Structure 1
Amino acid sequence: MSSCKEEDTQQKWLWVNGPIIIGAGPSGLAVSACLKENGVPSLILERSDCIASLWQHKTYDRLKLHLPKQFCQLPLFGFPDNFPKYPTKRQFISYLESYAKHFSINPKYKQAVQVAEFDHVSGFWKVQTQNFQYFSKWLIVATGENAEPVIPNIQGMDKFKGPVMHTSLYKSGTEFNNQRVLVIGCGNFGMEVSLDLCRHNAIPHMVARNSVHILPREMLGISTFSMAMALLKCLPLRIVDKFLLLVANLTLGNTDKLGLRRPKTGPIELKNATGKTPVLDVGALSQIKAGKIQIVHAVKEITKIGAKFVDGKEGEFDSIILATGYKSNVPSWLKGTEFFTEQGMPKTPFPNGWKGENGLYTVGFTRRGLLGTACDAKNIARDIGDEWRKYKGFCKNFCISRNLSDSQGICF
């Protein structure tokens, strides 16, 4: 990164000679690497103290990648050959650390963005953190779809006498031994946490408020995702969806009978339209069939000792775990643009949601996982690379025009 900075007693500012990237997760690392490959320097601002903070601080211990590693690697640098087909959490983090080292990516940590806004007078982006104001011609939003936990507003939650935690704080079922645990949510997080609780002798009751697609992680010895991607190259999406559901029903059985209703829309079509990911079963369904994971209806009210459900039943629980997912936090800090929805997602759908106006870009908002991230990162790097040669000397001229010198903290 090339930069210029000026200090006074109240405000520090930094000119970034290249794009500012918000977020040091997989998306931020990928776009930084692709930019470097195109000869473009960049600066990553990260609110936490490490790369991939969601993976490092807010995931449970037993987590593994749900997709084969070839679909989860970042551009220009693959997984080690000795990694298993489905790498563990620790292996994935080590891969990201190696990725950052390989491309000499050094984020600026503990820089929580308070406001980012395009200045129409100067023609540059201003990014304000707790102790700096950064300026750049380009801003890349890489905070992703899962920046903040979703905490539902359920009546009576404040009355519950036991612990209530989001899955972002859950590590393992060790502390829930022999407890009756209410798990609110039946997506991949809810399923895996419930499975982990079973393996630590807890008694999970999983709330299935909405319909959900459950697919085997592998079909006929092949990754379900791999099979779907291959079939989509030669068959219409709805035909592929019908095939996936046929095989799922043959291998897993009718999940409706277990209280897990399937949506009317097929799994891939639903994912593309809403971002709702089908559950890839890694063992939870067998525990549900065995009665070790109980399926319960939507919660009507939390009580002091448990919950009341919409079907009129009640239950007593020792703890509550919110497997209610995550959301984007972009609207809380990105101002002055209508590129994002109120939910913090690009209004323009994939594959064209990576570029906005005035040098604004987004990566990691495709609802297509790391494959979508890789696609966005490459597009952004090519686009900025075409402009870069016109502007790579701007920083030096900018500083000279302000009569700044090396004694004032300038560096190129």
Structure 2
Amino acid sequence: MGAMAKRKLRPRSKILGRTSKVTKSMCKMLVSPSRNPVRKQPLEAQIKFHNLPVKPRQLGRKLREHTKKGTRYLCAFIEKIITEKNHKDRNDKDGDNTDADLKDCVLKPDDITTTYDDVYISSDTIKALEDLTLSIQHPSSFTFGILSSHSPPGLLLYGSPGTGKSLIIGAFAKQAQLTFLALSETDFESALVDKGAKKIKRIFAYARKHHPCAVFIDRAGSIFRSRSVVGNSPSHLHNINSFLEEMGATTRSNTRNPMVIAATNKPFDIDDEVFRHLGRRIMVDTPDRAAREQILKIHLRGETIADEVLSELADTTPDYTGSELKDLVWTAAAIALRESALQKGKWKAPEGSENIYRVLYKAHFEEAKKQIRSSSRYTVEKLREFHFKFGNVVQRNTESDGGV
């Protein structure tokens, strides 16, 4: 009886479960493989350190076999588990088996703050964008004919830097209540040849899963630059081939396909075959006089301006992009604030004091224009020439020579 009682009190390893008769003292005799950072530690510590996916029943069976085959057998088993887990961890880190690396790219409609009220968009551009959402607004009309068998062509926005291409797409996604995958060049950069190509496949798989969804690729001229350019890396060629494969699948069917929208400052650098799949092309030109006045009104909200300043400012800022107009207004407001603060002797306002009232006059904008200058003239002319050959829709600037 004493022997039986002693046997019942023998400690068991917590990780082994009831199926194993191997004691904790036997576990402490086992050591990990030579490359294990916690070698010479008890087996329980090894399992806990590596967070190994080993079920107690499986480990108990292996430990029982160990009593017959020796310590090397069990060490080989543990090393195999560690190797498989490390391989899985590397794949997860590279994003091969998970969408976790896409979470920073995903924007839900509630996450987007830009609306149509915050950006100037021409009526022609709005119509072109709304065509992409016809299948959402009128689903029954897409059950027969060509609309049922093919998706709309991809959309390409191009224009000078600062013309608001990204803002336009953000406002469109908000208006249409679309899940929005915003991607740029850094999302495809990798030293591994096939990492970018695999990510493109996951992007389209994610977009189909979360239909309706828009895939927006910024700086497409760099991401999909022509394959004929000398010095392209193997990973760049793989990225283009993967994108073309996904776009081919998109155009061959109309089953939960994403809307594909790209934007670039250099459409002439895009690979010819990629360019063919982006069949709807919109040039976001520098704003004309009427558009400049609308953009200035947006950026002057909450400011007090002198009479006639807005109209005159719209007349005297040809070739300014929307971004440059925003910088111009900000600079003028800062100049007016500095002037008001110095006049009142309150360069540094005491804590809790009232805001310093400011009025923006013509002189403030004249001074601001010395600091903020238009820088897009050469690029605009080149883009207009390109658009004349290949484009569809343009936010028109009718004032400029050679405008389209």
Please give the range of the TM-score, normalised by the shorter of the 2 chains: under 0.3
| Structure having the larger proportion of residues in helix | 2
For normalisation by structure 2, the TM-score amounts to: 0.24
| Structure having the larger proportion of residues in strand | 1
- The structure, 1 or 2, with the larger RCO (C-alpha pairs under 8 Å, 6+ apart) is 1
Structure whose CA Rg is larger: 2
For normalisation by structure 1, the TM-score amounts to: 0.23
